[in-house]
Homo-oligomer: A and B are copies of this chain.
Amino acid sequence: MTSTNAWPDLRGIAYGGDYTPEQWPRETWDEDVALMREAGVNLVSVGIFSWALLETSEGVFDFTWLDELIDLLHANGISVDLGTPTASPPAWFFADHPEARVITRDGTVMGFGSRGMASHSSPEYRAAIVRIASTLAERYGQHPAVVLWHVHNEYGVPVGEDYSAQSVHAWREWLRERYGSLDDLNRAWGTAFWGQHYGDWEHVGAPAAAPSVVNPAQRLDFARFTDHQLRECFIAERDAIRAHAGQPITTNFMANQSWTTDMWAWAREVDIVSDDHYLWAADPEGEIGLAIAADLSRSVGGGKPWILMEHSTSAVNWQPRNVAKRPGEMARNSLSHLGRGADGILFFQWRASRSGAEKFHSAMVPHAGTGARVWREVVELGDTLGRLTEVKGSRVVADVAILWDFESFWAQDLEWRPSEDVGHAERVRAFYERCWRDGITVDFALPGQDLSAYRLVIAPAQYLLTTADAANLTRYVAHGGTLVVSFFSAIVDENDTVHAGGYGAPLREALGVAVEEFLPLRAGDTSTVVWNGEGADELSADVWQEHLVVDDAEVRGSFLDGPGAGMPAITRHRHGAGTGWYISTRLDAAGLAIVMKEVYADAGVAPSGLLDGVEVITRRGADADFTVAINHRAETISLPITGHNLVTGTDAPGMLDLAGGEVAVIRTSRVAEGGGR
């Protein structure tokens, strides 16, 4: 049996959260379902950490409580996202199979008592997850309450790389498969360096603790292997479920929060993309990181609606300082996800746990109970979402793509790079943030995919860029696209081997420049770029300069000081019908804004012109657009738009006044009211 539905059988936007009734007495369940109805909850995720209560010892199952729970939910019209509990095997599993425990790089054995899966490569673990997934699917595959399967939880967190003997064994098999011959492995890893030549497959180990830095190509492959093994675990469960159940199957990602898994590859395996997202409390503009996560979740799924599987009603518990959300912030966060393509808004979790490691994590029902602000906002949000049913299924369309390649991330963040001040995530955030403030909606994209639909492609962190992908970007420019490339890009190929021809060589044609030498700055040093364009005479930068060799690009900015003083810093190059920009330093936010203004002009992309902090995203429906507007500012703003505000049920006749902190969803009929994006 295969999946017959691309979306859970639900009316309207999905709304709810993780529900863990096993932590509560039976009488609380009845209160729970009553409150769920009050809040408009239509979907809850259950069973995610329930393995020990469902399979009490190997092969011995007890579904009494789960049967009762699902029937209760069903009777109250609440659908179930049924989890497989494989992210947290029971105590008996680890006791029976101590060799399945994960081992860290330095040899520490990861014990029981916390959470986390066993070794992704343990045959015993693999057998156990198929057994529990099959058994659940067999039992609940036909249950009318179950509309979605939730395999595992957050693959890659907190268990990713595993250095156990079982993992090393699987690693060798994976390498044989990948390389076929040891000669090819030796070549790919460059084992001639430091005398690492292998003459026997059995001599190849995991990149564990060693006296100095381990071969980076080996480490990169180990990241690929880890991703592959985790994905195999998912596929094993998915296929076990599919044999018995027809509902769609997902697993919750952690976009922009964990990088262990290659979301592009995983998105091909799930029926529906779902994602967990938590604000980073130390960042007073956490909504930008949220938008990255949401856009990435949408992008990996090819633009299809996705489900926000977890976020928080207020504070989390695992950050250094767990800042509470301000009044209205939960709604703003939720609507931003929705605006960026989410057709489900769920929380971790329904009711705050009184015990355990996450007891200080906020919930839909907080410790303070239903008298609390959080609960009132939960009910209000349920009400709002109930009025947005028609948004469901509509799509976001973007003119701009930012490249995002997990392999490049993995490679760049290994040891011994030219400067520890250069980071993959930092570069992505800088360019994304620029677009966010300029009111420009972006997709994320792979460097090797068809990019022709985009007016502008930004490559903020393409340290690893294959020759083929570089050729794709070059073609994109030749055919009229505008490409912006940030420094430290196109440095290595898929084996972390420096490209023949030197740094940046594969993009030399598109950009008209090559990098002769990196000139990283000392800690805290800044430099000035003399700018030849509009907006400023000088731009501020730090961290990095380069000795750039200009073939035939136009020099738009040059270094005034620092090791690159007098050398070109920012270039623009006409190639075929398009334009390739290169920015060889880390501009500050003001400087990047100035440069991007010219880039936008080249690309024909128009900033929204709205005040900073007014977030507007449009979803395109069958015959209407839905514009989600979020006012992150304190004061009322006016938005030039005509349509119907689904949140308030009132019309916006050409202008929408949106109070500080408020949200709106404006339906604009594309026929009657014109417009579009």
Query: Is the Cβ of A107 less than 8 Å from the Cβ of B108?
Result: yes
Query: Is the Cβ of A110 less than 8 Å from the Cβ of B209?
Result: yes
Stretch from A242-250, A359-367, A652-660, A667-675 forming part of the interface with B: A359-367
Query: Is the Cβ of A522 less than 8 Å from the Cβ of B321?
Result: yes
B contact residues around A51 at 8 Å (CB): 195
Query: Is the Cβ of A281 less than 8 Å from the Cβ of B522?
Result: yes
A209 contact from B109, B192, B203, Cβ within 8 A: B109
> Is A166's CB within 8 Å of the partner chain B?
no
Copies per complex of this chain:
3
Stretch from A229-237, A265-273, A288-296, A310-318 forming part of the interface with B: A310-318
A324 contact from B95, B212, B417, B518, Cβ within 8 A: B518
B contact residues around A196 at 8 Å (CB): 52, 88, 91, 112-113, 115
Query: Is the Cβ of A95 less than 8 Å from the Cβ of B322?
Result: no
> Complex: how many Å from CA A563 to CA B326?
7
> Is A621's CB within 8 Å of the partner chain B?
no
Closest chain B residue to A374, Cβ basis: B517
A205 contact from B111, B193, B208, B321, Cβ within 8 A: B111
Query: Is the Cβ of B416 less than 8 Å from the Cβ of A360?
Result: yes
Closest chain B residue to A318, Cβ basis: B416
A195 contact from B52, B354, B514, Cβ within 8 A: B52
Query: Is the Cβ of B354 less than 8 Å from the Cβ of A113?
Result: no
Stretch from A73-81, A214-222, A448-456 forming part of the interface with B: A214-222
> Complex: how many Å from CA A522 to CA B213?
36
A200/B92 contact (C-beta < 8 A), A112-B205, A212-B158, A355-B217 known: yes
Query: Is the Cβ of A563 less than 8 Å from the Cβ of B49?
Result: no
Query: Is the Cβ of A366 less than 8 Å from the Cβ of B517?
Result: yes
Query: Is the Cβ of B210 less than 8 Å from the Cβ of A497?
Result: no
B contact residues around A212 at 8 Å (CB): 114-116, 158, 357
> Is A189's CB within 8 Å of the partner chain B?
yes
> Is A63's CB within 8 Å of the partner chain B?
no
Query: Is the Cβ of A92 less than 8 Å from the Cβ of B420?
Result: no
A213/B114 contact (C-beta < 8 A), A57-B199, A360-B417 known: yes
> Is A643's CB within 8 Å of the partner chain B?
no
> Is A10's CB within 8 Å of the partner chain B?
no
> Is A498's CB within 8 Å of the partner chain B?
yes
Query: Is the Cβ of B213 less than 8 Å from the Cβ of A90?
Result: no
Which residues of A in the span 511-567 have a Cβ within 8 Å of any Cβ on B?
514-523, 547, 549, 563
Query: Is the Cβ of B516 less than 8 Å from the Cβ of A372?
Result: yes
Query: Is the Cβ of B195 less than 8 Å from the Cβ of A90?
Result: yes
Which residues of A in the span 188-202 have a Cβ within 8 Å of any Cβ on B?
189-200, 202
> Is A352's CB within 8 Å of the partner chain B?
yes
> Is A369's CB within 8 Å of the partner chain B?
yes
> Complex: how many Å from CA A194 to CA B357?
9
> Complex: how many Å from CA A124 to CA B551?
56
Closest chain B residue to A187, Cβ basis: B355
A498/B352 contact (C-beta < 8 A), A49-B194, A420-B321 known: yes
- Type the 1/0 row for A369-385, where 1 means its CB is closer than 8 Å to any CB of B: 10111100000000000
Which residues of A in the span 397-427 have a Cβ within 8 Å of any Cβ on B?
415-421
B contact residues around A189 at 8 Å (CB): 355
> Complex: how many Å from CA A417 to CA B315?
11
Shortest CB–CB separation between residue A459 and chain B, in angstroms? 20
A116/B354 contact (C-beta < 8 A), A91-B203, A281-B522 known: no
> Is A282's CB within 8 Å of the partner chain B?
yes
Closest chain B residue to A352, Cβ basis: B498
Query: Is the Cβ of B357 less than 8 Å from the Cβ of A114?
Result: no
Query: Is the Cβ of A373 less than 8 Å from the Cβ of B523?
Result: no
A354/B199 contact (C-beta < 8 A), A107-B108, A321-B520, A418-B322 known: no
> Is A22's CB within 8 Å of the partner chain B?
yes
B contact residues around A57 at 8 Å (CB): 199
> Is A353's CB within 8 Å of the partner chain B?
yes
Query: Is the Cβ of B52 less than 8 Å from the Cβ of A199?
Result: yes
Query: Is the Cβ of B517 less than 8 Å from the Cβ of A372?
Result: yes
A190/B356 contact (C-beta < 8 A), A209-B111, A314-B517 known: yes
**Ordered nearest first, which 6 A-B pairs have the shortest CB separation?**
A190-B355, A116-B211, A193-B356, A114-B210, A52-B197, A49-B195
Which chain A residues have a beta carbon within 8 Å of chain B's beta carbons?
20, 22-23, 49-53, 56-57, 85, 88-92, 94-95, 102, 106-116, 158-159, 189-200, 202-218, 281-282, 284, 314-315, 317-318, 320-324, 326, 352-360, 362, 366-369, 371-374, 415-421, 492, 495-498, 500-503, 514-523, 547, 549, 563
Given contact pairs A115-B194, A368-B514, a sample of 8 additional A-B residue pairs in the complex whose CB atoms are under 8 Å apart: A49-B194, A92-B203, A217-B356, A321-B523, A323-B522, A355-B495, A359-B498, A369-B501
Sampled A-B contacts (29; CB under 8 Å): A49-B194, A88-B195, A91-B196, A107-B108, A110-B210, A112-B210, A113-B207, A113-B214, A116-B210, A192-B355, A216-B357, A217-B356, A315-B518, A315-B520, A317-B417, A320-B420, A321-B418, A321-B420, A321-B421, A321-B520, A321-B523, A322-B518, A323-B519, A323-B522, A324-B519, A326-B563, A358-B416, A360-B417, A372-B516
